[in-house]
Amino acid sequence: MEFDRVEIPEEGERVEAEDGELVVPEEPIVPYITGDGIGQDVTPAAQRVLDAAADETGREIHWTEVYAGDRAEEEYDELLPDETLEAIRQFNVALKGPLTTPVGAGFRSLNVAIRKNLDLYANIRPVYYLQGVPSPVNSPEDMDMIVFREATEDVYSGIEYEAESDDAEKIRGFLNEEMGEDVPDDAGIGVKPISERKTKRLVRKAIRYAIDRGRETVTLVHKGNIMKYTEGAFRDWGYELAEEEFPERTISEDELWEEYDGERPEGKVVIKDRIADNMLQQLLTRTDEYGVLAMPNLNGDYLSDAAAGQVGGLGIAPGSNIGDVRGVFEPVHGSAPKYAGQDKVNPTAMILTGRIMFEEFGWFDAAEHVKDAVEATIQDRTVTYDIHRQIEGGEKVSTSTFAELVAEKIRSA
């Protein structure tokens, strides 16, 4: 495809995909979406830090802007141009700032649209503590989890019908007359699909991550005690996948206690499950017992945000959306339009999102430079307003200044 408004750098090489793995050159071309609202502040800040980390490890990123949201509407008169999606398909990765999602009427979430168009089915959110960040819990350092959230199904599939619309009436009529249900005539109706294939590919990715990164457990989080044929099936298919594809590397929690008296055998990943509402409690009460969590879409949204709250909030929470190989890397937080252009918000979530991208590249040395420098800068108490107002004796700095301080830490390491 020939690009109209996307300018491909003359230097750099494409990130390739071969045999289910990214093949990343030393000077990759990386598309980026600035994002709406505070995207104009945090995305350039993150790029500055990522450039410093790449340079420190003998690499260079060649950025190319692609458009979605407000900037796309200005450039193309549409919110998600085809050539934005095509650029990500061709280059296999993208760094993405936050996009606005209106509540109620209007277009559906652009974030969800990108995930569905590119089949980025695993929304992966690491949650860990950075020393120096104020936290509402006593031992935030116990939090070190990776949430694998299925990103294309569940209520986020977008199959819903407005109350009293013709379509809702058709569905209501079928459910009431053919299936014996009693749906009120003023009800909006949504459909919650959870499939075996999409469940298993998510759980497969979570287990592979646990094996590759030395994690001890994968927990399937569900509400299967109530929604037996969707979330209950998610649980059952997850266990099936582990037994079918990883029999030598995994054991169930039942096997752990029945055969090993609760002592995990070396090299084994324990597969267990928890009810979603109980898991919210255990995030607080048994934080250190959980490593990798895998769950349907809505549970993942709730759980990852709750976990982030224990370590300082969404301002420091990174995220990513990854398919079989391709990935779009975006922070958890929203676009916060009231702060747009003020150079004041915390760019840490966006910076650490870039760290996930580096890990997907296999650039683990650069990824650690990023984390260490962010943490050291926060420990120096040179922080943006959101953290500054919670500590004593610190220095409040702007978005861009914080990013430059982090980049300087990397350069002087």
Annotated binding site for Mg(2+): which residue ranges?
301
Residue set of the binding site for D-threo-isocitrate: 109, 111, 115, 125, 149
Active-site annotation holds for 301:
yes
CB atoms within 10 A of CB 143: 21
Looking up tokens 């017992």 gives 289
Q: Are 184 and 216 within 8 A, CB to CB?
A: no
Cα–Cα distance, 301 to 236 (Å, whole number): 21
Token reading at 163: 């109350």
Q: Pick the catalytic residue from 192, 200, 223, 409.
A: 223
Active-site annotation holds for 156:
yes
Token reading at 394: 């610190």
Q: Pick the catalytic residue from 277, 324, 365, 380.
A: 277
The amino acid present at 284, given as its one-letter code, is L
The secondary structure element, H or E, covering residue 11 is none
Residue set of the binding site for NADP(+): 100, 333-339, 346, 385, 389
Active-site annotation holds for 223:
yes
Cα–Cα distance, 247 to 240 (Å, whole number): 10
Those residues with Cβ within 8 angstroms of residue 177's Cβ, 6 or more apart along the chain or in another chain: none
Strand partners, 314: none
Q: Pick the catalytic residue from 67, 161, 301, 409.
A: 301
Strand partners, 144: 128
Active-site annotation holds for 254:
no
Query: Alpha helices, DSSP H only, in 214-323?
Result: 231-245, 253-260, 276-285, 297-310
With H, G, I as helix, E, B as strand and everything else as coil, classify residue 190. Answer: strand
Cα–Cα distance, 301 to 297 (Å, whole number): 6
Q: Are 27 and 12 within 8 A, CB to CB?
A: yes
The secondary structure element, H or E, covering residue 123 is strand 122-128
Q: Pick the catalytic residue from 129, 156, 209, 239.
A: 156
Cα–Cα distance, 196 to 296 (Å, whole number): 12
Cα–Cα distance, 174 to 151 (Å, whole number): 29
Cα–Cα distance, 133 to 346 (Å, whole number): 12
Q: Are 122 and 204 within 8 A, CB to CB?
A: no
Question: Which residues are part of the catalytic machinery?
Answer: 156, 223, 277, 301
